[in-house]
Amino acid sequence: MKVAIYGLGAIGGLIGARLAMAGCEVTAVARGATLSALQRHGLRLDDGPDGGGRPGAATQPGPSAIPLRAVADACELGVQDLVIIAVKATQLEAVAAGIAPLIGPETLIMTAMNGVPWWFFDDPSAPHAGLRLPSLDPAGALRRAIPLARTIGCVVHLAATCPEPGRVRRTFGNRLLVGAAVAGPTAGRDRIVARLVQAGFDAVSSDAIRTDIWYKLWGNMTFNPVSVLTGATADRILGDPQVRGLCLAAMAEAAAIGEHIGCRIVQTGEERLEVARQLGAFKTSMLQDAESGRALEIDALVTVAHEIGRAVAVPTPMIDALLGLIRLHGQMHGLYPVGM
């Protein structure tokens, strides 16, 4: 299988490295320091103390070096069997502009990203089908560039970091949920899942990928902005009664939205926070971005919940307050566009 990764950061790098080690022909579209590092010494992978479920991985003495071809221009790679989009939502405009050379009549495209994707309401069978989310694809460039019928969603339930360009470290978790953006034949989805399982992931086929996406958003939509505003790790957020209460109130609003859009949350907020507590003192992805001076993924995680709430007439005062605070914080620190 020919696989191109668009965005070889922590998650894209981990998936790409594992697939390459499992025998796929993996290439990458990258830029800047990451491109230079990959071209110089390939991709370095530290897969965590348990090896991520890969036989023999726990005994490896240090990072694995995976040779793979990396280019700045997708034109150099040609048509792929699978394209994995694992960029930050803030980089999707560049993906839309450059992805065409990778896509042929049979190419599958898998999105492995934080937050709600642009195609979330494009399935004609979904409640509120056709609802447009201006914060995610304002001019429709992604819809024009990426064929919906061959788009696959991937919800990532694992954590990884990039200690330096071209190096990926998995920290915990190993689960991937994979489902088609549009209901229909499942052969493409199942083929991807089989490859991911072969690569050592706990990958599962999902017939409810929209609900899976909303469930993850429900859990991290509050932690991400609160962590940036406070600089706190998850354990400190959970340990403050007032901050914990704010998170629970915003989660209740998101759960109410879920009821309206066919993405019902069956857990309580307290149960979900207990799951987070068990992970310890981790930094959210948004806090890691803020500390590194990278643009914040506010729109795909927070703005989108505000937009959907308004569209389905669910009041979201706590989500709105969080949005205003994190957006202004991002603007004041040069991490979010002024005027958005």
| Catalytic site positions | 216
Residue type, 32: G
Q: Which residues contact 152 (CB under 8 A, 6 or more apart)?
A: 108, 109, 110, 111, 178, 179, 180, 181, 188, 189, 192
Residues with Cβ within 8 Å of residue 335, at least 6 apart in sequence: 289, 290, 293, 294, 295, 296, 329
Element (H or E) spanning 28, and its range?
strand 25-29
Beta-strand runs (E) in 126-257: 151-164, 167-180, 202-205
Contact call for residues 146 and 138 (beta carbons, < 8 A): no
Q: Give Cα separations from 42 to 71, 91, 242 (angstroms).
A: 12, 23, 46
Measured at the alpha carbon of residue 222, what is the angle toward residues 219 and 223, in degrees to the nearest 5? 80
Closest residue by Cα to residue 215 from 176, 267, 283: 267
3-state secondary structure of 154: strand
Look-up of token digits 């400190």: 236
Extract the tokens encoding 231. Answer: 């600089």
Q: CA angle at residue 174 from 189 to 24, to 5 degrees?
A: 50
Residue with structure tokens 């229909």? Answer: 184
Tokens 């909303």 -> residue: 214
* 32 Cβ contact partners less than 8 Å away, ≥ 6 residues apart: 165
Q: Can you read off the two tokens belonging to residue 51?
A: 């090896």
Torsion over CA: 109, 97, 92, 136 (sign): negative
126 token code pair: 């979904």
